[in-house]
């Protein structure tokens, strides 16, 4: 088997005096589509923040076989944070300016955008069918359009892995469907996807592998194992487990 792109070993996170994550270990391989689920406050976002080196933690994390402390290839990772919580409503920027920020990890100092970079931004916007919005202010966009902008920002550096933290929280059903179609296409082109959501239907529909967190790692494996697990049947209830497995079929 190939070398994992993420290896987390015995990860624990304590914030203040609260234990948020306890002794979590897993490997993630290139090309996987992983759904990360768990109840509110289970530590899903904290786990992702830890993998992005934003939290203090104990244990070891390697990214593309390099200890996270020495990892330099941050352009390998595209990150879409929880919708509408990660930027100031006051921040003035056009779609083009926001997406250009996603190129920072690929630029050497002094980080000046060349015509090639601007073309790269245009191509990414076109691939998500939002090139006509390039000169618009992000504040004048709908929720669905804005979500595509965050996605474009995450994709413009041509990452190998895309991390989506509750990406469709504020979106209506139609827009969610379109958004996940884009994500599924990207996955089919070889992109590794880590999707965090509390919506088990979304995970059942789109993910190939499932990680359930509730401070500890409650489940980690493929859907067949999940659907046959008595432990999961007790954890979720038989009906919920059945519904999730039905979605996956």
Partner 1 sequence: MNNILEIFQYQFVERAIIAGLFLGVLCAVLGVFLVLRKMSLIGDGLAHISFGAIALGIVFGIYPLIIAIPLVIIASLIIYSLTRNKILEGDAIIGILAALGLSVGVILSSISTGFNIDIFSYLFGNILAINQQELIFAIIGSVSIISIIILFYQEFMAISFNPEEAKISGLPVIFLDIVFSIITALTVIMSIRLAGALLISALLILPASSSLQISKSFQSTLIIAIIIALFSITLGIIVSFLGGIPTGATIVSINAILFFSILIIKPLISK
CB of 168 to partner 1, least distance (A): 19
Separation CA 157–CA 101 (nearest Å): 10
CA angle, 37 then 41 then 46, to 5°: 75
Q: Which of residues 54-83 bind partner 1 (CB under 8 A)?
A: 54, 72, 74-75, 77, 79, 81
Using the rule CB under 8 A, is 94 a contact of partner 1? yes
Angle, helices 143-155/115-127, rounded to nearest 10 degrees:
130
- Determine the interface stretch with partner 1 among 4-12, 25-33, 130-138, 185-193 (rule: CB under 8 A): 130-138
| Of 82, 94, 95, residue with least CA distance to 44 | 82
Name which position in 12, 22, 30, 53 contacts partner 1 (CB under 8 A).
53
Name which position in 2, 40, 90, 116 contacts partner 1 (CB under 8 A).
90
Name which position in 92, 108, 114, 190 contacts partner 1 (CB under 8 A).
92
User: Which residue's CB is nearer to partner 1, number 101 or number 126?
Assistant: 101
Separation CA 78–CA 61 (nearest Å): 18
How many residues interact with partner 1 (rule CB under 8 A)? Answer: 34
Name which position in 4, 12, 27, 52 contacts partner 1 (CB under 8 A).
52
Given the rule CB under 8 A, which residues bind partner 1? Answer: 52-54, 72, 74-75, 77, 79, 81, 86-88, 90-94, 97-98, 100-102, 104-105, 107, 109-113, 135-137, 140
């Amino acid at each position: 088997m190939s070398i994992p792109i993420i290896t987390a070993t015995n990860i624990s996170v304590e914030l203040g005096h609260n234990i948020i994550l306890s002794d979590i270990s897993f490997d993630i391989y290139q090309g996987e589509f992983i759904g990360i689920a768990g109840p509110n406050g289970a530590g899903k976002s904290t786990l992702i923040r830890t993998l992005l080196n934003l939290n203090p933690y104990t244990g070891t994390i390697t990214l593309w076989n390099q200890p996270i402390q020495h990892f330099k290839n941050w352009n390998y990772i595209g990150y879409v944070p929880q919708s509408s919580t990660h930027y100031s409503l006051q921040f003035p920027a056009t779609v083009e300016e926001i997406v250009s920020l996603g190129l920072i990890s690929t630029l050497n100092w002094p980080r000046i955008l060349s015509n090639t970079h601007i073309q790269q931004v245009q191509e990414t916007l076109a691939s998500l069918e939002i090139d006509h919005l390039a000169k618009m202010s992000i504040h004048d966009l709908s929720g669905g359009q804005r979500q595509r902008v965050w996605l474009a920002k995450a994709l413009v550096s041509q990452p190998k892995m895309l991390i989506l933290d509750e990406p469709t929280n504020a979106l209506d059903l139609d827009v969610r469907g379109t958004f996940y179609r884009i994500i599924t296409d990207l996955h089919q082109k070889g992109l590794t996807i880590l999707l965090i959501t509390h919506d088990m239907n979304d995970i059942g529909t789109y993910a190939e592998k499932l990680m359930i967190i509730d401070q500890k790692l409650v489940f980690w494996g493929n859907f067949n194992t999940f659907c046959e697990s008595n432990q999961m049947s007790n954890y979720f209830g038989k009906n919920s487990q059945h519904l999730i497995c039905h979605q996956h079929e």
